[in-house]
Structure 1
Amino acid sequence: MALPQQGYRATKPRARAAPPTGDPLLFEDTSSGVPPMNSQNYYESGYNMGGGAPGGQGASGVNNLFTDPVASAAVMYGSSLANQGKDMVNKEISRFMSVNKLKYFFAVDTKYVVKKLMLLMFPYTHQDWEVRYHRDTPLTPRHDVNAPDLYIPTMAFITYILLAGMALGIQQRFSPEVLGLCASTALVWVIIEVLVMLLSLYLLTVHTDLSTFDLVAYSGYKYVGMIFTVLCGLLFGSDGYYVALAWSSCALMFFIVRSLKMKILSSLSADSMGAGASAKPRFRLYITVASAAFQPLIIYWLTAHLIR
């Protein structure tokens, strides 16, 4: 028997009415978990905080930074200090070396590098060893294979250090101290050779157009022969090392004699007058031969300990 359903009646959900725009709410509606926010208040707060748009506070800060006279003055002062420091560094470098002249020794290209390496290893067939000039200015290395450069000696020195580290690693003798000693020894020998050459030319009053960079270049060409010698020693053992040492030494001696002969003896006519003029050609020849004969000794000294 069905009981009478008294006190129960179907109810349908009431629709929430929007509060009047004029009267504020007595209580906040927290049923959705998100506090209500009026869109108009949101945009007004955004404009007030950001200086024009929501999230525009960073742009406003950047604009204020550039429009601030103190910040602009600080930026200009920092730029002036940087320029002054750059000028001071360039001035100090110019006291010891000419930057423009140093650029001349690095004015090379791939074609020149290949020709120069072939000339260093096979100099016997080369005929013309004279450096070419244009309006009393020597041509750059990229236009004259006989011109000395510093690119090949620099790259060859770095390659020699890397090759020495590989050779020591293969023989289980590598350590940073040994590699540093090898690099410093190779660099010191070049410096000693250049200083001895300059001192000899000064004491014997031999006037040439050889500059310090020229001597560094000719002294640094030995690293090419050293790389060839060490590679042959690693690939073919001690026999290959001594064969490569003999070949690279003879080729370098021939190259140095022919190159320095054109440099040192080119100004002989200017010194042909005066006392002791007859001794000048002999002194020049002694210096040239001594410089060439010194190269095999240095090559052997710097590469023999890398081959076992």
Structure 2
Amino acid sequence: MSHSPPPLRHPVPTHPAYIPEPPSAPASPDGYQRFSSSSSPSSPPQHAYHVPAYSQFPQQPTHAPAPAIPQPDFAAWGMNDATAQFGMQLGQSAVAAGHDYVQRNFGTFFPSTSLKHHFNVSNSYVINKLRLVLFPWLQKPSSWRRRVCRSESGQTAEWASPREDINSPDLYIPSMALVTYILLCALYAGISKQFHTKILGEALSRGLAVLILDFAFVKLGCYFLNVSDSGSVIDIVAYGGYKFVGVIFVLIPSFLIRAPLINTILFIYAFLANAFFLLRSLRSVVLPDASAQLVSSPNPTSTATVPPAARRRRVIFLFLEAISQFLYMGVLVRI
């Protein structure tokens, strides 16, 4: 008789089961809080609360403060605030000192207010001025006087701006004419297949050299003739720069017509026109009339107080200045 084996039984633990409490987990992204299993009997009961995810950061209707201006982080460059502030103050002092030095030494020659005055032009002024430079004999002799107007304060008198007076010298036409002359020199070299970048520098140097020589001749003549007020530096430079208009008048047809006779006739005409224009224009500088005494600049000598001998020498000087334009323009047209 066979005996069946005894039934198998699982071992029964003699100690109570202890399941460790897992660490509290943050809220899941779907907004539900995880709960752990029940704690051991020996530990105090812990209660878990369900906190939605969106309630962790309550939104309040508050206004965002204005962003503050970021200050440079001088510590990142190895400097403290005191050294940085000292360096900034030193730099500002150096810039102010340099500006004062320029105004003190060069402001009398090229004041900023005078430059603005000489660039105050209009389209009608440019057209009429070009006509006056190329055809100066079309204007009546009594129409060459410069206009005098009162300043904004009304206490002093000053020359009218080029926009208001066609006889007033400007710097817009001479500067544009100089640039056009340089471009024409480059164009002529390109047509001749001899263009090089140095052509631009040579043309600029030639034009500036002519302007400097002309300016030095006028200033020295006024000095030796004892002209008390020889006009401002910018006025004389502007008058000397109008010769580039006549030079352009000669160069442009020479590109189209290869006729030496016609080019010579055009050159003689441009020279005579520029010489006559300077005779009329520089008269207000060398032989100023009574209206110039109203200007707030140093009082010029009137023609009524100039002795006849001195007046004769000044007229001769004007003719020499006009004749010298033949040499200056002859150098400029030979490109």
Q: CA deviation at 1:193?
A: 1.3
Over 3 Å counting, the alpha-carbon distance change for 1:76 and 1:125 in structure 2 is farther
Over 3 Å counting, the alpha-carbon distance change for 1:79 and 1:108 in structure 2 is farther
Q: CA deviation at 1:88?
A: 3.0
More helix as a share of residues: 1
Q: Is the 8 A contact 1:66 1:72 kept in 2?
A: no
Instruction: Give unpaired runs (5+ residues) of structure 1.
Output: 1-17, 25-38, 45-61
Q: Is the 8 A contact 2:222 2:230 kept in 1?
A: no
Match of 1:290 in 2: 320
TM-score normalized by structure 2? 0.66
Q: CA deviation at 1:67?
A: 10
Inter-partner Cα distance in structure 1 for 2:190 and 2:92: 44
1:223 equivalent in alignment to 2:241 = no
1:234 equivalent in alignment to 2:234 = no
Match of 2:6 in 1: none
SS in structure 2 at match of 1:253: helix
Q: CA deviation at 1:117?
A: 0.6
Q: Is the 8 A contact 1:260 1:288 kept in 2?
A: yes
SS in structure 1 at match of 2:136: coil
How many residues get paired? 255
Inter-partner Cα distance in structure 2 for 1:198 and 1:123: 24
For residue 102 of structure 1, the aligned residue among 115, 133, 141 is 115
1:270-285 equivalences in 2 (<5 Å):
271-272=305-306, 277-285=307-315
For residue 163 of structure 1, the aligned residue among 164, 178, 184 is 184
Inter-partner Cα distance in structure 2 for 1:64 and 1:132: 53
Over 3 Å counting, the alpha-carbon distance change for 1:129 and 1:184 in structure 2 is same
1:3-152 equivalences in 2 (<5 Å):
21-23=34-36, 65-66=70-71, 78=88, 81=91, 85=95, 88-89=98-99, 91-96=101-106, 97=109, 98-127=111-140, 128-135=143-150, 136-152=157-173
Determine what percentage of the aligned residue pairs are the same residue.
30
TM-score normalized by structure 1? 0.71
Match of 1:31 in 2: none
1:193 equivalent in alignment to 2:223 = no
For residue 202 of structure 1, the aligned residue among 223, 229, 242 is 223
Q: Which has the larger radius of gyration?
A: 2
Q: CA deviation at 1:116?
A: 0.4
Q: CA deviation at 1:23?
A: 4.6
Match of 1:260 in 2: 282
Q: CA deviation at 1:181?
A: 1.6
Inter-partner Cα distance in structure 2 for 1:93 and 1:184: 27
Residue by residue over 1:100-133, the C-alpha shift from the partner in whole angstroms, topping out at 9 and shown as x without a partner, is: 1222111111111111011111111101100010
Inter-partner Cα distance in structure 1 for 2:69 and 2:117: 49
Over 3 Å counting, the alpha-carbon distance change for 1:64 and 1:72 in structure 2 is farther
Q: Is the 8 A contact 1:204 1:283 kept in 2?
A: yes
Moved over 3 A (4+): 62-84, 267-271
SS in structure 2 at match of 1:269: coil
